[in-house]
């Protein structure tokens, strides 16, 4: 009996800290979800990713070249919407926030890539992702770029929250206004001005396809506008755009 009582006393601090951790976790989820719900009516001014990039730019250049102008969805070319969906998330209009088959394919591809690293002749292995537009928005809005189990789990929760509280049209609108298109270039309007000296509403199908191709590696392609891959991939996305379904 004494031994059992001693064991309970010994575990009390652990249980107390566990309880505080659970309460803190729930409080964090309420904080995130309340902000997501507010986005139904209020445009977010910046994202965690943007602020992180701004700090990095300022540390290097001691200045903050931040180009971003919010534009409503109706003022963003439908060509750009179709191009981004065709390039980043082809079934965006119909999935529940996660493309499970894409994640499974990415998982098997990454396992295969890791096995290839055992071959000394392989110098670089590409890690493939499977994130939807909603997942990318969840990560950019609130999370760091670290690839950890905890961060990925939190990303799934935020993705569910975004799909629950916001329409697909609103998710795409926020995404297109905050996604990175170059160093210090955020959002469709800033990207259209930066690359083509026109507004986002005036983008042609080819220009929209090119911007969509830049998205996965914006700072890289910003420096290599004549990249053969960029040109070839633009033609591929251009051919797929008519089949992209807008929400």
Output the domain CATH number for residue 189.
1.10.3810.10
Tell me, yes or no, whether 197 lies in a domain. Answer: yes
Tell me, yes or no, whether 91 lies in a domain. Answer: yes
Domain count, the chain: 1
Helices (H), 1-148: 2-38, 48-61, 78-88, 100-116, 133-142
- The span from the CA of 146 to the CA of 37, in Å, is 25
- The span from the CA of 172 to the CA of 115, in Å, is 36
Q: Which domain holds residue 217?
A: 54-97+166-247
pLDDT score for 26: 86
DSSP-based three-state secondary structure for 144: coil
Residues 200-213, mean pLDDT to the nearest whole number: 97
Tell me, yes or no, whether 21 lies in a domain. Answer: no
Q: What is the pLDDT of residues 91-134, one digit of tens each?
A: 999 998 887 666 556 554 545 555 555 554 544 444 445 689 99
Tell me, yes or no, whether 65 lies in a domain. Answer: yes
Provide long-range contacts, Cβ within 8 A and 24+ apart, for 141-146.
141/44, 141/47, 141/48, 141/49, 141/174, 141/178, 142/32, 142/35, 142/47, 142/48, 143/48, 144/48, 144/52, 145/49, 145/52
Residues 216-224, mean pLDDT to the nearest whole number: 91
pLDDT score for 56: 83
Tell me, yes or no, whether 147 lies in a domain. Answer: no
Tell me, yes or no, whether 202 lies in a domain. Answer: yes
Q: What is the pLDDT of residues 30-66, one digit of tens each?
A: 999 999 999 999 999 999 999 888 888 777 777 777 8
């Amino acid at each position: 009996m004494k031994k059992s009582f001693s064991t309970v006393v010994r575990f009390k601090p652990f249980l107390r800290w566990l309880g505080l951790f659970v309460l803190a976790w729930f409080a964090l989820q309420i904080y995130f979800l309340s902000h997501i719900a507010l986005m139904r009516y209020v445009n977010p001014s910046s994202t965690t990713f943007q602020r992180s990039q701004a700090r990095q730019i300022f540390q290097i250049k001691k200045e903050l070249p931040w180009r971003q102008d919010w534009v409503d969805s109706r003022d963003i070319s439908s060509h750009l919407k179709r191009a981004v969906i065709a390039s980043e998330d082809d079934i965006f209009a119909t999935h529940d926030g996660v493309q499970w088959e894409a994640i499974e394919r990415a998982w098997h591809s990454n396992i295969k890539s890791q096995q290839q690293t055992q071959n000394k002749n392989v110098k670089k292995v590409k890690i493939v992702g499977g994130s939807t537009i909603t997942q990318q928005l969840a990560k950019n809005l609130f999370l760091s770029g670290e690839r950890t189990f905890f961060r990925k789990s939190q990303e799934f929760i935020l993705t569910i929250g975004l799909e629950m509280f916001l329409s697909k049209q609103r998710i795409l609108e926020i995404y297109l206004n905050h996604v990175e298109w170059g160093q210090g270039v955020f959002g469709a309007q800033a990207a259209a001005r930066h690359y083509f000296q026109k507004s986002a509403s005036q983008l042609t199908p080819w220009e929209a396809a090119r911007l969509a191709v830049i998205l996965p590696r914006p700072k890289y392609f910003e420096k290599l506008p004549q990249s053969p891959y960029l040109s070839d991939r633009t033609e591929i996305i251009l051919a797929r755009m008519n089949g992209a379904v807008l929400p």
